[in-house]
Amino acid sequence: MLNSIDPKTLASNLSTKLIGQRIISYSKITSTMDGARTEARKNAPEGTVIIAKEQTAGRGRKQRTWISPAGSLTLSIVLYPDLHLLPALVMLTPLAALRSITAVARIKPQIKWPNDLLIREKKVCGVLIENQMRGNTVNYTIVGIGINVNINLADFPEISSIATSISDEIGKEVSMTKLAQQLFVEFERIYTAARQGILPYEEWRDNMLILGRKVTISSEDDIYSGIAESVAPDGSLSLRLSDGSLINIVAGDASLVIN
C-alpha cells in the first residue's frame, strides 16, 4: 500500500519527540491548513499534524489552487515559534522536504526561492507558511507542505507542463508512509537546531536553483526582472536589475526566464 498512509502505523514508528506525536487524519478536507488553524486556535500541542488523503480546496501561495489528488502527501503542522524564528521557517521547511525526498526516493530536488521544490525545473513540492500574530508575538504558525508523490501528471494536463511527481521522475511509486515519517524526522531535526541558534542558511542557499539566472519576481508592490545574485540569512533575495542597480526583495514569487 505505497499510495496510502495509515496514521496508526505512521505514528507508531516515529522517532520524533515533537512533530507528528499527535496526528489528525482526514479522508477528505477542504484544506489541511483549515484543519490546522482550527486546532491551533484550540491550543493544540506543538507539532500536531493534520494530514489528508485529498483536499477539495487546497491553496498555495497567493491563493493559487493546489491540486491534491490521491497520491499526494498533503499535511500541515502546528507550531508556536518565537518571532525571531519566522525567517528560518522559510528555509527549514523546504530543506526538510528536500532531505526527505532525497533519502526516500534517491532523487534530489532544488529550491526555487523562497521555498518551492523543483525537479528538472518542474514543481514537485509546495510550501505555505501562515503566521497569526498579536503585535510582536506569534500566536501560532501553520506550515503547510504538499508533495506530488505517486501521481501520474499526464492525468492532469492543466499542470503537467509546470509540475511533476516523484513517481514520474524515478519510474516507480514510493512509500507515502516512509516519506511522511522521514519528513517529520527531518523537520524536527532542523527546527530543533534553529531553536538552538543553528540556522540552515548555507544549506538552503547551496540548494537554490535560481542563483546566477535571470528571473522575474512578483512581489506585493511590483514585478521585477533581473539576475538573482544572492540570498541572505533573513531569507531575502538580491536582484541585479538591467540598469545595474541591486535591490533586496524580502517576499515574492520567482519564476525563471526561459531564453
Least confident of 39-43, 83-87, 153-157, 218-222: 218-222
pLDDT at 66: 59
pLDDT at 259: 45
According to the 3-state scheme, what is the secondary structure of 190-244? HHHHHHCCCCCHHHHHHCECCCCCEEEEECCCCEEEEEEEEECCCCCEEEEECCC
Least confident of 17-26, 57-66, 215-224: 57-66
pLDDT at 2: 59
Q: What mean pLDDT do residues 149-160 have?
A: 91
State pTM to two decimals.
0.90
For CA atoms 81, 84, 89, 92, the dihedral sign is: negative
* 143 vs 216, residue with greater confidence: 143
Say if CB 57 and CB 135 are below 8 A apart: no
pLDDT, tens only, 196-239: 999 999 999 999 998 999 988 887 778 888 999 999 998 888 99
β-strand pairing of 110-112 with 72-79: unpaired
pLDDT, tens only, 87-130: 899 999 999 999 999 999 999 999 998 889 999 999 999 999 99
Cβ neighbours of residue 143 under 8 Å, at least 6 residues apart? 76, 77, 79, 89, 93, 127, 128, 129, 187
pLDDT at 17: 94
Q: How many residues does the chain have?
A: 259
3-state secondary structure of 10: helix
pLDDT at 9: 82
Name the grid cell of 26: 482526514
| Order of strands across the sheet that contains 49-55 | 23-29, 49-55, 72-79, 137-148, 122-134, 116-119, 110-112
Say if CB 247 and CB 239 are below 8 A apart: yes
pLDDT at 257: 61
Residue matched to cell numbers 526516500: 104
Residue matched to cell numbers 513517481: 167
Q: What mean pLDDT do residues 50-70 have?
A: 69
pLDDT at 116: 92
pLDDT at 64: 55
For residue 141, name the pLDDT band (cuts at 50, 70, 90): very high
Q: Check pLDDT > 70 for residue 82.
A: yes
Q: What are phi and psi of 198, to 5 degrees?
A: -100, 100
Structural domains of the chain, ranges and CATH numbers in brackets: 7-205 (3.30.930.10), 211-256 (2.30.30.100)
